[in-house]
Structure 1
Amino acid sequence: MDDNDIDQTDSFPAWVPDAEAEANIPEPETPELIIITGMSGAGKSRTAAVLEDLDWYVVDNLPPSLLRALTGLISPSTTTRKVAVVADVRGREFFKELVATLDEMRDGGIAHRVLFLECDDAELVRRYENVRRPHPLQDEGRLLDAVHAEREMVADLRKRADSIIDTSNMSVHDLARSVRQLVAAEGELKTRVTVMSFGFKYGLPMDADHVADVRFINNPYWIGELRNLTGHDRPVQDYVMEQDGVTKFVDGYTDLMAGILEGYERQLKPNVTIAIGCTGGRHRSVAIAERLAKGLRDRGARVVTVHRDLGKE
């Protein structure tokens, strides 16, 4: 049984990694293997989704006997550097092999970490009752008996865990934040920003989170020597930026968006698109988009620029 529905419950004091956990955050280029395990309904599926958003390769409910084979994915000769495996009691008889497999991996020098998701009995019962789904070990018995049986099964594994996250009082957002803080390099925690120029004559970008209209700026198109240039060219940039109020507008908008991006990062928003539009998407929007992107980069943001309509007539 998949515990996706359980993991999406909105009522999992927010967990903060201790100093030891922070010290164990690996370098971005270091090959990594994480075993995600723990109590059913404690948040394993949500944890796997967070890792996928951080570009990890995630395998759900893999039999422990196949773990060794999976380690080939993160050898120096492959491009995959981050692999996570969800292993829990859904595997039934296979799950009993997990502790022995982990011992074999350590004895064989295969580096890995075990992330254990914990939750108290009362909260687990509440989550299962809310989604009206049976526990993997419940069969025809009581839900609480199944929870107790699982806790006994995972006791040894919990003792071997490198990190334990108790989700009893967490929301799904608290859990996501905790996982990201535990495994992500600093740069991966930042929201990825796309600054896009576009022409209103070709329509609004469907994926824009914020739109700024710069058609209040005089159009370089009507200047003969600038018409065939673009916002990438210095003469166009100078013409645009030297107009009254334009520098003040761009600097103010940069400050505004920098503050918004800080809020997005706190809310774990992975991507945001800022669209800058003029009439045709060739002169003013391109120049302003490049200036905005530079200002946000100077403030530490991860920014790429896209000029959607630059090649259009």
Structure 2
Amino acid sequence: MRRPFVVVTGLSGAGRATALNVLDDLGYVAVDNVPLPLLDDLMRSTGGDAGEKARPLALGIDTRTFGFDARELVARIGELRKHPALAVRLLFLDADTETLQRRYTETRRPHPMAPDRPVVDSIIEERRQIGWMRESADVSLDTSSLSPHRLKQILAGHFSLGLSVGTRISVMSFSFRRGLPRESDLVFDARFLKNPHYDPALKPLTGRDPAVAAFIATDPDYHPFVDRLKGLIGPLLPRFDAEGKSYLTIAIGCTGGKHRSVALAEELADWLRSAGRSVTLSHRDVGAAGEAGGAG
């Protein structure tokens, strides 16, 4: 079995340290800011003694790292991918400029690119220099709207060291009003279904409540839509498995993310589990929808 080796890079402030902590929790030897010339020494020192299995390795490296060169890093990863004893993957973390600027403002840390210039200028310059690396990445994540818990879920889906059971699937509901989940692979719209928001008895509930699910299921288009959805997704899963896709996020949206999308996500997750799939289920905007009073 090949030794897992994850290289974590991306824009400063996009979550590299958090990702390394998650990988450490998953069982990797997680090391940050090791210059490329020392990479061979690091791999040997964590390779295991005689009779021991080499430890999975996660390496954080970005523009803060001494002597960092993006093109040299990509070239080196390309060489390592040819090594028969290694399973090398590049994780690139990104976030929108506004989010990165806010994170630096909150932490009051100087940006490594140009500590004497406005943060936004540094972010733009760093994106210009290394943004192209995401095209070489095996996994690219935009962390702008991801909570630490959600990021951990996604990273565990991609990089878990457990026995592979095919593509791991995340099913989530969301509110279109609050924007598309950036980590989604497949997005479906449930806004055409009957809306429980306008029933006073159902409005305070969510799609997890049987009464709400039963109400939505009375829509004459509900069951045909669910059947078509399963007919679309079902044949795709073996193809994702064959391509080696480790993690798939299916997002179901409605107006407020509280009723229709939640009920549909619950049904879809149950169906996938009954088919023997590894599934995590989350409802991104249930609390937010209730607080905002948005139609579900």
Q: Whose Rg is larger?
A: 1
TM-score (normalizing by structure 2): 0.50
TM-score (normalizing by structure 1): 0.47
